[in-house]
Chains A and B, each alone.
Chain A
Amino acid sequence: MNKPIRTISLFCLVLFLALMLNATYLMYVRSGELTADPQNRRVITAAFSRERGAILVGKDAVARSVPSDDQYDFQRTYPQPFKYAPLTGYFSYYSQSGIERSQNDVLSGEDSRLFVTRLVDMLSNTDPQGGNVQLTIDPEAQTAAFEGLRALGEDVQGAVVAIEPATGKILAMVSNPTYDPNTLASHDFGSVEDSYQALEQDPAEPLINRGIGTTLPPGSTFKLVTAAAAIESGDYDAQSMVPGGASFQLPQSTTKVGNQGGGDCGGNRITLTQALQVSCNVTFMSLADELGIEAMTEQAEKFGFNSTSLEDLPGQARSLYPPDMDEPQTALSGIGQSSVTATPLQMAMVSAGIANDGVVMRPYVVDEVRAPNLSLLDKTSESELSEAVSPSTADDLTEMMVATVDDGTAYAAAIPGVRVAGKTGTAESTDTRPPYAWFTSFAPADDPKVAVAVLVQSSDTAPGDIAGGRLGGPIAKAVMEAVLNP
């Protein structure tokens, strides 16, 4: 009977080897995949209880973990919830958004850059701690933007984005209506569920960061892109004579499109500067028609349309300039209508690109990543996204925008003693909704420190009263002043 016993021994050896190989495969090879599985509550429960790192703006934490005496060791709190919610996002037991999500590895302490810290924690048997994330946000500018937008009404729908043109640092990003992430970070999961349902079903969509997540026709602010394309073509400069007049006959169509308010822009032949000053629709439709879809698309994409650029904050929607529009659509796109859509961030990038001698910098919001002991782990380096226009074109556009503030529609953004460059916009999407008010500007014109874009989607003011300059101008002015005079 010994021969079969030896065979059975081999058989048992195979069984146990199979068990060991499978255990190794499961617990070593597949370990990462299992831990990353969204259904895995273990990881999030542990992360939920851990001392998570802080999200810092200036010297203040806008999100931090404080000791808690219930079943979890720490409670996530947001000291300035409404103002910073679009940036910080929320950290709930079920999900995360914003910086809480994009920087989760650092904040939770799992990031590979924190390996040494983690090792020390493990050896000294102390609870692991997350790293801190320093944002590029200027707290003064953020406050100015938030209060300026809220001054139009508690439930005004809009957003403000400010960028430092030379670096791409986002200095302010405000979205309204907003929400209180503290209600979602609570340890009372029942109330978290209720709050989340209420926020998600709110037609005003408070969970969306309108600064980067909402795309709408940019209206007259897009005329900056059309003007840039025109000057870049080599056929125009700031003083070139361009078609004005009361209306523009759309190609392949019987429709005539007029100017805002029905005027004739001051004559049938006007300078390009004057056309921008009075925001002349006829001029920019005919320019777009003349330049054609290819040149327009190329110029729009150089400013960042049709792609996403923000890497450290989730939820950026793609601003669109569809390259397959027909001739009448192309003409309409010259004034930011038809299928052109943009986020406030995109329009801020247009201004910032013009301000930065034509170079668009990649926008970013995470400035530094620090270990729990505050040693620097990583600092985001600025990078060039594209060269949108030549420096001379940028100079021409800057002068035209300064003229628009000094003697044109963008007067509301004027700051005494500072040369401000700006452009208004009012866009209509459908007949039933009020128009959107846009405003974008930068200052000082000679050495730009800040570029701003403001979008007011709807407000408590009457529909007829909406003009980009009147609603958005004062907010942009306040933000620029906050940056220039800290």
Chain B
Amino acid sequence: MSQDHTLMGFVHRRRRGAELFLLLLALAVGIGAYAAVGLGMEGTIPADIVGYGGWLTALIVVAHVAIRIFAPYADPVLLPLVAALNGLGLAVIHRLDLDNTSQCVDNGDFARQQLIWMTLGVVLFVATLGLLRDHRLLQRLTYTTGLAAIVLLLLPMVPIVGNTVNGAKIWISVGPFSFQPGEVAKVLLVIAFAGYLVLHRDALALAGRRVLFIDLPRGRDLGPILGMWAVSMFILVFQRDLGSSLLFFGIFLIMLYVATERPGWLVVGTVLFAVGAFAGWRAFGHVQNRVNIWLDPMAYYDQNPGSGQLVEGLFGMGWGGLIGRGFGGGAPCRIPYAESDFIVPAIGEELGLTAVMAIIVCYGLIVERALRIALISRDGFGKLMAVGLGSIFALQVFVVVGGVTGLIPLTGLTTPFLSYGGSSLVANWVVIALLLRISDQARRPVPRLSADDSDTGSDSESTQVVKLR
């Protein structure tokens, strides 16, 4: 942690005014898109534009004020990015609601529900910032969160609450509510990984055999990675959820590599994953199916299970071209689940390559901000958490956008902040709150300590003054 001292002299500006300005742009995207949907679908600006716009503005303002109060030094770009994506997602879901053709007929009012979920997300966002004044408190909960994550992952397998949707056992139902525990589990897992790795990183970093300029880890340290691999395989086999399996293992691998600085772990992890994926491909028809469809989507268009959904998405995006057909000009309802997994093709069809690029750049910026937070964070736990949370977005967006555009085999994952789905939206708002909390801690000026400044020992981490409440 030697660079901490070079940062000492530099004081980050709060940049809350910049954040407010960017938020205004984000609101213009969200409300403008909503108005455009009304114009495109019904020919007039929707009558409830004031109520809707007001509600959206209120939520964003509340989030902004919460940051001003609870995390004044937090990164100023993250919230505007999220606000823009969430606003655009709401407008697109609203557009799909208004469509009365084919698949969209029984959509009802997903947009209204999504707005309620967003409200809940913002409430939890504010609560996280307000209640969690220092992210290092979470380090105490390493094993608790780990256990909770595993319980949540197992819940869908429990007979009464578990619920199978489209072949994937990733839902639980409690009364009228259904919920994807995996979305919460991924946040808890990142916290547990960070807490575990920051304690055991030194042991895990010990070099074992050296092969081709890469130090492989020692055999006796393989326990954690094998355990995580087993969890991923369990999810793949018993919940038939390719996407989550890849996501969890990928996050763990990245965090392990960052904690130990040993590329050898990447080698071990990649080999393990390749073995698992190959075994899964050999053993399961649905995995083979996905791969075959990926290799030649057109050939399976009319079959069941086939590539109809993927190909309709590809057709839609191809038809959208550079600037899209405009809201109401496309037929995104030809794509089953256009409002959730396939929202990017729906956007591509009506808003074109331009919007798809903009969305990818937004996600890229979120990841970039998260990794930047990790770089400047002063504590190992915060670094690992920020890397983990950023990787969630990177991997999830790559898997889902890559899947629907035919870059990689399709696996079901939601598109963060855009897709319809309460669990995902709420969990992602909390992720952003956690990132902002770490960012606030990292950018906050360090209290001047007269004597210890000259101490540049390697144990500076342990002598750091931590403000705990």
Contact = CB atoms under 8 A, between A and B. Distances in A.
Contact of B319 (A3, A5, A13, A43): A43
B291 interface: no
Nearest to B316: A42
B318 A16 contact: no
B2 to A, nearest CB: 10
Interface in B372-407: 374-375, 380, 383-384, 387, 390-391, 394-395, 397-398, 401-402, 405-407
Contacts of B367: 12, 16
Contacts of B363: 16
A6 B314 CA distance: 34
Interface in B298-323: 298, 301-302, 311, 314-322
B360 A26 contact: no
A16 B314 contact: no
B364 A27 contact: no
Task: Give the most central of B316, B320, B374: most A CB within 10 Å.
Answer: B374
Interface in B333-392: 334, 348, 352-353, 356-357, 360-361, 363-364, 367-368, 371, 374-375, 380, 383-384, 387, 390-391
Interface residues of B, number: 52
Contacts of A22: 402, 405-407
Given A5-B258, A20-B360, A35-B318, A45 B331 contact: yes
A204 interface: no
A344 B424 CA distance: 68
Nearest to A9: B371
Interface string A133-164: 00000000000000000000000000000000
A28 B371 contact: no
A12 B396 CA distance: 11
A9 B334 CA distance: 37
Nearest to B324: A27
A23 B356 contact: yes
B156 to A, nearest CB: 28
A349 to B, nearest CB: 41
Given A22-B406, A39-B298, A5 B331 contact: no
Contacts, number: 127
A209 B301 CA distance: 33
Contact of A27 (B311, B348, B374): B348
A30 B318 contact: yes
Contacts of B91: none
A255 interface: no
A338 B438 CA distance: 91
A42 B322 CA distance: 17
Contact of B375 (A2, A19, A26, A71): A2
B257 interface: yes
Contacts of B316: 42
B426 to A, nearest CB: 24
A19 B383 CA distance: 26
A45 B102 CA distance: 12
A46 to B, nearest CB: 7
A119 interface: no
Given A1-B258, A28-B321, A41 B334 contact: yes
Contacts of A26: 314, 317-318, 405-406
A27 B318 contact: yes
A5 B383 contact: yes
A30 B380 CA distance: 46
B318 A24 contact: no
A1 to B, nearest CB: 5
Nearest to B357: A20
Given A30-B318, A39-B301, A42-B319, A1 B360 contact: no
A5 B387 contact: yes
B318 A33 contact: yes
Contacts of B394: 12, 15-16
Given A1-B258, A5-B387, A22-B405, 9 more contacts: A1-B384, A6-B375, A8-B371, A15-B394, A16-B398, A22-B406, A23-B357, A31-B321, A39-B315
13 contacts: A1-B384, A4-B258, A5-B374, A18-B398, A19-B397, A22-B406, A23-B356, A26-B406, A28-B353, A33-B318, A34-B317, A39-B315, A40-B318
